[in-house]
Amino acid sequence: MIETAGCRNIHKRVFAAKLSCMGYFLLFNPDLNVYVAPQDGARQPSRSLRARSSTDMFPNNRVVMPKITLFSTSNLRQGRSEHLQRMVDSIARAKVEDPSIDVHLYLLLQNVPDDAVDPEFPDWISTRRINHQISLSAARNLLMREVVKAGVVTADGIYAFPDDDCWYPEKFLTLVAGLFRDKPEIDFWFCRYSSTPETKSALTTEKPALQKVISRASSNTFFFRGRLLPELQTFDEALGVGARLNGGEDTDYAIRAFYLARSTLFTDAPLVGHRDHDSSLKPKYFPGTLYAIAAHKTRSIPGIIAFVRKLLVGASLVASGKLTLSGYIAAVRNA
């Protein structure tokens, strides 16, 4: 289909009319390829930055890598500084190994005493500190709102939400940036994680079904193109660690992304470092995950199948004595 100048103008008006992202009036500036939030009481954006689009070029005609923006949080009272340092070190190594990748980490430090000295971090880490604890979903949303308000959410940028105890093996971030650069139609990519992640020289990808997204996508392993964020908006603060229902926030976010994305790809390999999946936690996370799947079950036939499948998983947990019958019934009623 050939796009005329008139069509392009219509598209610009449609983008400019897009409201509502994470509590802020959000505009898309198609000339700058950047999402911006206007100043209070004004129509002008508070900040407009040139996005590193996949079509931009260096003078030597090398395509610019899209910027990777990470959102994470760490509870210092729980002694997680060692885990956090491992993640920071893995990103620092990646930036040294490949200077072409641009990575920025927005980090919320929780339970920091008011009189504590700010930890020293590299200039590619922006920190925010609070003296109390909030849920994981609320922490991510707080950081996203601030970034959106600053007007730096770019359409071609890459966004992810790693836990503070994950880490990235050699070449991983370069491979992710290269995938999004070389495949501009991709909006959502994910892989698996492991305590012994693999190092790859190239990514082998496949188009996943919905069930694969539900089973494998997690905050440590999913990456999104910025154009999805205004519609994805925030994590559900009723879900996740520290919320009313444990777990499910990643599943809910991934399902929403799957339905919104122009194209989704999956690499069936453990490419991100993180502690191994603990099957004993299934009963704990069952209510939240069931709630997340139920919220989207009517969107497609695979959604209905996924919901029924999850009900059967819960029934098997009850049969094995890992989940109480009353807990199962409560989860089903809540969903």
Do 307 and 255 lie in a common domain? no
Pick from 193, 304, 202: which is nearest to 250 by CA?
A: 193
Number of domains in the chain: 2
Tell whether 285 is covered by a domain. no
Lateral strand order in the sheet of 68-75: 125-129, 103-110, 68-75, 158-160, 222-225, 188-194, 264-273
Tell whether 283 is covered by a domain. no
Do 54 and 193 lie in a common domain? yes
- Residue 117 carries which side chain, given as an amino acid letter? V
Phi first, then psi, for residue 288 (nearest 5°) are -70, -45
The pLDDT value given to residue 2: 36
Q: Are strands 68-75 and 103-110 parallel, antiparallel or unpaired?
A: parallel
Do 92 and 210 lie in a common domain? yes
Do 28 and 159 lie in a common domain? yes
Tell whether 286 is covered by a domain. no
Share of the chain above pLDDT 90, in %: 67
Tell whether 223 is covered by a domain. yes
Tell whether 59 is covered by a domain. yes
Do 119 and 165 lie in a common domain? yes
Reply yes or no on whether the pLDDT at 118 is more than 60: yes
Do 177 and 226 lie in a common domain? yes
Asked whether the whole model's pTM tops 0.85, one would answer no
Rounded average pLDDT over 241-257: 94
Do 23 and 168 lie in a common domain? yes
Tell whether 182 is covered by a domain. yes
Query: Alpha helices of the chain — where are they, by DSSP H?
Result: 5-16, 81-97, 136-150, 172-182, 210-216, 229-232, 249-260, 282-294, 301-319, 325-334
Residue with tokens 């009517």: 298
Do 25 and 58 lie in a common domain? yes
Tell whether 134 is covered by a domain. yes
Do 296 and 186 lie in a common domain? no
Share of the chain above pLDDT 70, in %: 80
Structural domain range at position 152: 5-277
Q: Measured on CA atoms in the order 64, 149, 109, 247, is the torsion positive or negative?
A: negative
| pLDDT level of residue 55 (50, 70, 90 thresholds) | very low
Phi first, then psi, for residue 257 (nearest 5°) are -65, -40
- The lowest-confidence range among 41-50, 124-133, 190-199 is 41-50
- pLDDT tens, residue by residue, 170-202: 999 999 999 999 999 999 999 999 999 999 999
Please give the full DSSP string across 26-78, using - where no structure is assigned: -EEETTTTEEE-BPTT-SSBS-------TT-B-TT-PBPPPPEEEEEEEEGGG
- Across 280-314, b (16+ Cβ under 10 Å) vs e yields eebbebbbbbbbbbbbbbeeeebbeebbeebbeeb
Structure tokens at 154: 């770019």
- Report angle CA 318, 290, 161 to the nearest 5 degrees: 125
CATH code, domain carrying 193: 3.90.550.10
Do 191 and 313 lie in a common domain? no
Residue with tokens 């989704």: 264
Residues in Cβ contact with 125 at an 8 Å cutoff, skipping those fewer than 6 apart? 88, 104, 105, 106, 107
